[in-house]
Amino acid sequence: MEKKIFLALDNLSKKEILQLVEELKDTVMFKINDAFTKFGPELIEEIHGKGGEVFLDLKFHDIPNTVANYSKAVAEKKVFCFNVHCLGGFEMMKKASETIDSYCKEKNLRKPLIFGVTILTSMDEKTLKEEMQVNYSVEEMVKHLALLAKKAGLNGVVCSSKEIKLVKEACGKDFLTITPGIRPQWSVSDDQKRITTPKKAVQDGTDFLVIGRPIIQAEKYNMKRTKAVKKILQEISL
Protein backbone atom coordinates (compact mmCIF):
# COMPACT_ATOMS: atom_id res chain seq x y z
CA MET A 1 0.00 0.00 0.00
CA GLU A 2 1.27 3.47 -0.86
CA LYS A 3 2.14 5.54 2.16
CA LYS A 4 -0.59 7.99 3.10
CA ILE A 5 0.58 9.40 6.41
CA PHE A 6 3.10 12.16 7.04
CA LEU A 7 4.25 11.96 10.63
CA ALA A 8 4.76 15.54 11.91
CA LEU A 9 8.17 15.56 13.59
CA ASP A 10 7.53 18.72 15.62
CA ASN A 11 9.61 19.93 18.52
CA LEU A 12 11.67 16.78 19.00
CA SER A 13 15.36 16.12 19.61
CA LYS A 14 17.42 14.66 16.79
CA LYS A 15 17.73 11.43 18.71
CA GLU A 16 13.95 11.16 19.02
CA ILE A 17 13.50 11.95 15.33
CA LEU A 18 15.93 9.31 14.14
CA GLN A 19 14.42 6.78 16.53
CA LEU A 20 10.96 7.49 15.08
CA VAL A 21 12.27 7.15 11.52
CA GLU A 22 13.86 3.83 12.42
CA GLU A 23 10.62 2.59 13.97
CA LEU A 24 8.11 3.83 11.43
CA LYS A 25 9.82 4.27 8.05
CA ASP A 26 8.01 1.30 6.52
CA THR A 27 4.55 2.70 7.14
CA VAL A 28 4.75 6.51 7.18
CA MET A 29 6.66 9.44 5.64
CA PHE A 30 8.11 12.28 7.71
CA LYS A 31 7.20 15.97 7.79
CA ILE A 32 9.83 18.37 9.09
CA ASN A 33 9.74 22.10 9.80
CA ASP A 34 11.36 23.31 13.05
CA ALA A 35 13.67 20.30 12.89
CA PHE A 36 15.11 21.60 9.62
CA THR A 37 16.00 24.90 11.27
CA LYS A 38 17.44 23.18 14.32
CA PHE A 39 19.41 20.38 12.72
CA GLY A 40 20.05 21.65 9.20
CA PRO A 41 19.70 20.00 5.80
CA GLU A 42 21.87 17.09 6.97
CA LEU A 43 18.80 15.86 8.82
CA ILE A 44 17.15 15.11 5.47
CA GLU A 45 20.12 12.98 4.49
CA GLU A 46 20.02 11.19 7.81
CA ILE A 47 16.33 10.42 7.42
CA HIS A 48 16.98 9.17 3.88
CA GLY A 49 19.91 7.16 5.17
CA LYS A 50 17.49 5.29 7.42
CA GLY A 51 15.10 4.71 4.53
CA GLY A 52 12.56 7.46 5.32
CA GLU A 53 10.83 9.87 2.91
CA VAL A 54 10.64 13.60 3.68
CA PHE A 55 7.98 16.31 3.34
CA LEU A 56 9.88 19.59 3.73
CA ASP A 57 7.24 21.85 5.27
CA LEU A 58 8.88 25.27 4.95
CA LYS A 59 6.01 27.05 3.11
CA PHE A 60 8.08 29.25 0.81
CA HIS A 61 6.67 32.71 0.03
CA ASP A 62 8.92 35.20 -1.79
CA ILE A 63 9.51 36.71 -5.22
CA PRO A 64 9.39 34.15 -8.05
CA ASN A 65 13.14 34.08 -8.66
CA THR A 66 13.95 33.45 -5.00
CA VAL A 67 11.38 30.68 -4.69
CA ALA A 68 12.82 29.15 -7.86
CA ASN A 69 16.22 29.13 -6.16
CA TYR A 70 14.74 27.48 -3.07
CA SER A 71 13.12 24.91 -5.35
CA LYS A 72 16.46 23.95 -6.89
CA ALA A 73 17.99 23.59 -3.43
CA VAL A 74 15.06 21.39 -2.36
CA ALA A 75 15.37 19.24 -5.50
CA GLU A 76 19.02 18.63 -4.64
CA LYS A 77 17.87 17.23 -1.30
CA LYS A 78 15.69 14.64 -3.06
CA VAL A 79 12.69 15.09 -0.80
CA PHE A 80 9.31 13.54 -1.61
CA CYS A 81 7.52 16.90 -1.47
CA PHE A 82 7.66 20.52 -0.30
CA ASN A 83 5.27 23.47 -0.17
CA VAL A 84 4.84 27.13 -1.08
CA HIS A 85 2.20 29.70 -0.11
CA CYS A 86 -0.39 30.17 -2.85
CA LEU A 87 -0.61 33.80 -1.72
CA GLY A 88 2.88 34.25 -3.19
CA GLY A 89 0.96 34.45 -6.47
CA PHE A 90 0.60 32.67 -9.79
CA GLU A 91 4.01 33.67 -11.19
CA MET A 92 5.78 32.45 -8.06
CA MET A 93 4.05 29.08 -8.14
CA LYS A 94 4.56 28.70 -11.89
CA LYS A 95 8.24 29.53 -11.65
CA ALA A 96 8.68 27.00 -8.83
CA SER A 97 6.93 24.32 -10.84
CA GLU A 98 8.79 25.07 -14.09
CA THR A 99 12.11 25.23 -12.25
CA ILE A 100 11.51 21.84 -10.64
CA ASP A 101 10.66 20.37 -14.05
CA SER A 102 13.66 21.76 -15.90
CA TYR A 103 16.21 21.46 -13.09
CA CYS A 104 15.34 17.87 -12.22
CA LYS A 105 15.49 16.92 -15.90
CA GLU A 106 18.83 18.63 -16.38
CA LYS A 107 20.36 17.11 -13.24
CA ASN A 108 18.57 13.81 -13.51
CA LEU A 109 17.00 14.21 -10.08
CA ARG A 110 13.75 12.78 -8.79
CA LYS A 111 11.03 15.45 -9.02
CA PRO A 112 9.59 16.45 -5.65
CA LEU A 113 5.85 17.10 -5.54
CA ILE A 114 4.92 20.74 -4.83
CA PHE A 115 1.93 21.58 -2.65
CA GLY A 116 0.32 24.98 -2.19
CA VAL A 117 -0.82 26.33 1.17
CA THR A 118 -4.10 28.13 0.49
CA ILE A 119 -5.46 29.92 3.56
CA LEU A 120 -3.85 28.87 6.84
CA THR A 121 -6.37 27.14 9.07
CA SER A 122 -5.38 29.52 11.85
CA MET A 123 -7.15 32.24 9.86
CA ASP A 124 -10.90 32.68 9.60
CA GLU A 125 -13.22 34.98 7.72
CA LYS A 126 -12.76 37.69 10.36
CA THR A 127 -8.95 37.62 9.95
CA LEU A 128 -9.33 37.73 6.18
CA LYS A 129 -11.66 40.70 6.36
CA GLU A 130 -10.15 42.74 9.19
CA GLU A 131 -6.44 42.07 8.76
CA MET A 132 -6.10 41.29 5.06
CA GLN A 133 -9.07 43.32 3.79
CA VAL A 134 -10.18 40.30 1.81
CA ASN A 135 -13.93 40.26 1.37
CA TYR A 136 -14.33 36.66 0.32
CA SER A 137 -15.20 33.69 2.51
CA VAL A 138 -12.47 31.21 3.46
CA GLU A 139 -14.11 28.63 1.18
CA GLU A 140 -14.16 31.00 -1.80
CA MET A 141 -10.50 31.86 -1.25
CA VAL A 142 -9.47 28.22 -0.84
CA LYS A 143 -11.25 27.26 -4.05
CA HIS A 144 -9.78 30.19 -5.95
CA LEU A 145 -6.22 29.57 -4.72
CA ALA A 146 -6.42 25.82 -5.32
CA LEU A 147 -7.48 26.47 -8.92
CA LEU A 148 -4.67 28.99 -9.30
CA ALA A 149 -2.16 26.48 -7.90
CA LYS A 150 -3.39 23.86 -10.36
CA LYS A 151 -3.10 26.27 -13.27
CA ALA A 152 0.45 27.12 -12.14
CA GLY A 153 1.42 23.45 -12.32
CA LEU A 154 1.48 22.51 -8.62
CA ASN A 155 0.62 18.93 -7.72
CA GLY A 156 -1.88 19.77 -5.01
CA VAL A 157 -2.67 21.76 -1.88
CA VAL A 158 -2.62 21.36 1.87
CA CYS A 159 -6.20 21.70 3.07
CA SER A 160 -8.36 21.21 6.13
CA SER A 161 -10.79 18.34 6.31
CA LYS A 162 -13.62 20.79 5.63
CA GLU A 163 -12.09 21.72 2.29
CA ILE A 164 -11.20 18.33 0.77
CA LYS A 165 -14.44 17.93 -1.18
CA LEU A 166 -14.39 21.55 -2.29
CA VAL A 167 -10.85 21.24 -3.67
CA LYS A 168 -11.48 17.87 -5.33
CA GLU A 169 -14.70 19.13 -6.94
CA ALA A 170 -13.01 22.26 -8.26
CA CYS A 171 -9.66 20.79 -9.33
CA GLY A 172 -10.39 17.12 -10.02
CA LYS A 173 -9.42 14.02 -8.11
CA ASP A 174 -5.88 13.88 -9.51
CA PHE A 175 -5.07 17.21 -7.89
CA LEU A 176 -3.63 15.98 -4.60
CA THR A 177 -4.57 17.03 -1.07
CA ILE A 178 -2.73 16.78 2.23
CA THR A 179 -4.93 17.13 5.31
CA PRO A 180 -3.75 17.98 8.85
CA GLY A 181 -5.95 18.24 11.94
CA ILE A 182 -6.47 14.47 12.04
CA ARG A 183 -7.48 12.68 15.22
CA PRO A 184 -8.40 9.00 15.48
CA GLN A 185 -11.40 8.41 17.74
CA TRP A 186 -9.18 6.96 20.47
CA SER A 187 -7.01 10.11 20.76
CA VAL A 188 -7.47 13.57 22.28
CA SER A 189 -7.68 16.74 20.19
CA ASP A 190 -4.73 18.62 21.85
CA ASP A 191 -4.77 22.20 20.50
CA GLN A 192 -6.47 21.27 17.20
CA LYS A 193 -9.93 22.77 16.84
CA ARG A 194 -11.49 21.48 13.63
CA ILE A 195 -10.51 17.84 13.66
CA THR A 196 -11.59 14.85 11.69
CA THR A 197 -10.86 11.12 11.85
CA PRO A 198 -8.41 9.52 9.41
CA LYS A 199 -11.25 7.43 8.00
CA LYS A 200 -13.52 10.41 7.31
CA ALA A 201 -10.71 12.40 5.66
CA VAL A 202 -9.88 9.48 3.38
CA GLN A 203 -13.56 8.87 2.63
CA ASP A 204 -13.85 12.54 1.66
CA GLY A 205 -11.08 11.90 -0.85
CA THR A 206 -7.88 13.21 0.68
CA ASP A 207 -4.64 11.67 -0.58
CA PHE A 208 -2.40 12.24 2.44
CA LEU A 209 -2.85 12.84 6.16
CA VAL A 210 -0.60 14.80 8.50
CA ILE A 211 -0.63 13.22 11.94
CA GLY A 212 1.72 14.03 14.81
CA ARG A 213 0.87 13.66 18.45
CA PRO A 214 -1.58 10.75 18.32
CA ILE A 215 1.27 8.61 16.95
CA ILE A 216 4.23 10.20 18.71
CA GLN A 217 2.49 10.13 22.09
CA ALA A 218 0.97 6.68 21.55
CA GLU A 219 2.11 5.61 25.01
CA LYS A 220 -0.57 7.92 26.39
CA TYR A 221 -3.06 5.54 24.81
CA ASN A 222 -1.27 2.46 26.13
CA MET A 223 0.10 1.38 22.81
CA LYS A 224 3.34 1.36 20.89
CA ARG A 225 3.78 3.85 18.07
CA THR A 226 3.86 1.05 15.52
CA LYS A 227 0.53 -0.13 16.91
CA ALA A 228 -0.94 3.38 16.63
CA VAL A 229 0.06 3.57 12.95
CA LYS A 230 -1.30 0.08 12.33
CA LYS A 231 -4.62 0.99 13.95
CA ILE A 232 -4.91 4.14 11.82
CA LEU A 233 -4.07 2.26 8.63
CA GLN A 234 -6.65 -0.40 9.48
CA GLU A 235 -9.24 2.27 10.18
CA ILE A 236 -8.51 3.89 6.81
CA SER A 237 -8.78 0.69 4.82
CA LEU A 238 -12.07 -0.48 6.38
Nearest approach, Cβ of residue 37 and ligand C5P (Å): 13
- Nearest residue (CB) to ligand C5P, 71 versus 160: 160
Nearest approach, Cβ of residue 182 and ligand C5P (Å): 6
Nearest approach, Cβ of residue 65 and ligand C5P (Å): 27
- Residue among 50, 59, 72, 111 flagged as catalytic: 59
Instruction: Give the C-alpha separation, 21 to 57, whole Å.
Output: 17
DSSP secondary structure code for residue 18 in this structure? H
Q: In 3D, which of 211, 101, 114, 202 has the Cα closest to residue 156?
A: 114
* In the chain, alpha helices (H): 14-24, 34-39, 42-49, 64-76, 90-107, 125-130, 138-151, 164-171, 198-203, 213-216, 225-237
Show the CA angle centred on residue 69, arms to residues 63 and 70, nearest 5°: 90
Nearest approach, Cβ of residue 222 and ligand C5P (Å): 19
Instruction: Give the C-alpha separation, 198 to 219, whole Å.
Output: 19
Cβ-closest position to ligand C5P:
212
Question: Is residue 31 among the annotated active site residues?
Answer: no
Show the CA angle centred on residue 132, arms to residues 130 and 134, nearest 5°: 85
- Nearest residue (CB) to ligand C5P, 211 versus 218: 211
- Nearest residue (CB) to ligand C5P, 95 versus 207: 207
The answer to whether the CB of 182 falls within 8 A of the CB of 211 is yes
The residues near 158 (Cβ < 8 Å, ≥ 6 apart) are: 83, 115, 116, 117, 118, 177, 178, 179, 180, 210
- Nearest residue (CB) to ligand C5P, 91 versus 124: 124
Nearest approach, Cβ of residue 178 and ligand C5P (Å): 9
- Nearest residue (CB) to ligand C5P, 107 versus 193: 193
- Residues interacting with ligand C5P, by CB under 6 A? 8, 10, 33, 121, 160, 180-181, 190, 192, 210-213
Q: Which residues are catalytic?
A: 59
